[in-house]
Structure 1
Amino acid sequence: MSILELQGAGFAYGHRTVVDDVTLSVSAGEAVGLVGESGAGKSTILALLLGLATPRTGSVLFDGVPLDRRDRRLMRRFRANVQTVFQDPYSSLDPRQRIDRIVAEPLRSLGIARGDEARRSVMDAVAAVGLDADVLRRYPHEFSGGQRQRIAIARAIVSKPRVLLADEPVSALDVTTRIQVIELLQALRRETGLALIMVSHDLSAVAALCERTVVLQHGRVVEAGSTGDVLHAPQTAYARTLVSAIPRLPSSPTAE
């Protein structure tokens, strides 16, 4: 059964339609790539999936139940189970706060855990992304871009969500660090059954991480299927153009 799903979703800004009859879903342990050039509607779809915008047509379903922002109990459960990682690890972390408070923020804001329980959850999340506990007393400016993105991922998984929405999570990183973060996301999926929807311009990252790919053009799905089929046998001219621009990634990463 799908955990998070769009069914025939449409959205417009004024008279301009930016998402038109989009259907997609993700199940436990699955990774879905959402690709397309700028203006294709990817960010709007992410906002719909996060419950930050309400579709004008169609619906957003969480565990088969239509998302309703007026239902506080449903939204609290939704917020705990659907988390996000943003593109820029430099701007997504508050520079005035120590890492322990940054990672614990979802626990505080959602009222999930406090005190010793929260501290244990924070330490577990930091360990899960491959960082030592001593990072917790430091500040974001003391870390590299790759380390900051690991911290952002720790913040996203500290509430033990079932779905992670990743908005260009590796595009601001150098190539080697990009591979390491992709491998981290793969490991988290294997170990926890985390579902992932990744919005990306970078089809090479999607190829490395996602089983299914959805191709958007002008707010509509123009192609969808297994990532292998979409990348190796695209059916539309638009998808073929995207695939032709895939860069090659190194075959094996080195340590940061």
Structure 2
Amino acid sequence: MSLLELRGVSYRYRKGALALDDVSIAVGEGQSVGLVGESGSGKSTIVRLMLALAKPASGQLLFEGAPVTAATTRRFRASVQTVFQDPYSSLDPRQRIASIVAEPLRSLGIARGDEARTLVTASLASVGLAADTLARYPHEFSGGQRQRIAIARATVSHPRLLLADEPVSALDVTTRIQVIDLLAQLRESAGLAILMVSHDLSAVAALCDETVVLNAGRIVERGATGDILSAPREPYTRRLVEAVPRLPPL
């Protein structure tokens, strides 16, 4: 049974244009799945649907094999967290890091006070940030450090699944590698399932077991990441693979 699944989902924009057409995608316990495609292919719409922030025109969002309802929303919210693309706009500049990372604990009613502070400190430590981070503000950190803070916020409540929406696209090459390594470590140490949305196939190759290829709102190919990258079947996927930058031979 999948932990989180979109089954046969279609979605239309307000003016009626079809954004997704009969899309099915599932992430199992401890699994890492990459969702790739060009800008405008529908990746961000899938993230919104998988977070239950939008309703499909048809099809279902399933959590632990059952539809997400008002009765199951609390458990769903505690189990599924997200990391957004931009580490600059995703953190409130007016709040200290202690308050930012503790937000899921407050909103989900998990912990407050000293208990919350202990959990926040441990979560920051898990992403390589010291306890003195707590009293500082987002503007005092680099983009890579901010994304680590965002990951700490997403994982402080010990979710089972992390939706990572282009988590490294705004970072430089060295920092991208560090954040990908961090996500891999969290997956290994905490058994965290990950759905990584990206147009960067090199990032997906470093983290994901399975890859799903999306084009114009439809899934055109899926399979083991190694197979997708080494022997893509669809012309669209081949174009994506060929677009990955490669160093010239020495």
User: TM-score if structure 2 supplies the norm length?
Assistant: 0.97
Q: Given residue 127 of structure 1, which amino acid in structure 2 is its aligned partner?
A: A
| CA drift at 1:246 | 1.1
Local SS of the residue matching 1:19: strand
Amino acid at match of 2:12: A
Deviation at 1:15, TM superposition (A): 2.0
Is 1:144 the counterpart of 2:142 in the alignment? Answer: yes
Contact 1:204 1:248 in 2 (8 A): no
Q: Which amino acid aligns with 1:12?
A: R
Q: Deviations over 1:48-93 (max 9, x none)?
A: 000001111110100111012xx1x411111111000001101110
Secondary structure of 2:89's counterpart equals: coil
Q: Aligned-pair RMSD on alpha carbons?
A: 1.0
Cα distance in 2 between the residues matched to 1:163 and 1:30: 9
State the match for 1:252 in structure 2: none
Within 5 Å, give how 1:12-161 maps onto structure 2.
12-13=12-13, 14-68=15-69, 71=70, 73-161=71-159
Q: C-alpha deviations, 1:175-209, integer Å up to 9, x for none? A: 00100000000000000110000110111100111
How far apart, in 1, do the equivalents of 2:246 and 2:173 lie?
10
Q: Which amino acid aligns with 1:151?
A: I
CA contact under 8 A between 1:7 and 1:58: conserved in structure 2? yes
Counterpart of 2:175, as a letter, is: T
SS at match of 1:34: strand
- Report how far residue 147 of structure 1 moved: 0.4
- Equivalent position SS for 1:137: coil
Structure 1 stretches (4+) deviating beyond 2 angstroms? Answer: none
Which letter does structure 2 place at the counterpart of 1:199?
V
**1:254 matched to which residue of 2?**
none
Distance in 2, matches of 1:134 and 1:110, equals: 25
Task: Output the CA distance in 2 between the equivalents of 1:107 and 1:15.
Answer: 38
Partner of 1:3: 3
1: distance between equivalents of 2:16 and 2:55?
16
Q: Distance in 2 between matches of 1:52 and 1:165?
A: 13
CA distance in 2, matches of 1:59, 1:38: 24
User: Matches of 2:17 and 2:227 in 1, distance apart?
Assistant: 32
SS in 2 for 1:2: coil
Q: Is the 8 A contact 1:8 1:21 kept in 2?
A: yes
Segments of structure 1 that go 5 or more residues without pairing to the other structure are 250-256
Cα distance in structure 2, aligned partners of 1:138 and 1:58 = 44
Aligned length: 246
One-letter identity of the residue aligned with 2:67: P
Aligned residue among 180, 183, 187 for 2:181:
183
Distance 2:216 2:89 in 1: 28
Cα separation, 1, equivalents of 2:110 and 2:178: 30
Bigger mean CA deviation after superposition, 22-31 or 98-107: 22-31
Looking at structure 2, the residues matched to 15 and 60 of structure 1 have their Cα atoms a distance apart, in angstroms, of 21
- Distance of 2:155 and 2:176 partners within structure 1: 19
Instruction: Measure how far apart 1:248 and its partner are.
Output: 4.4
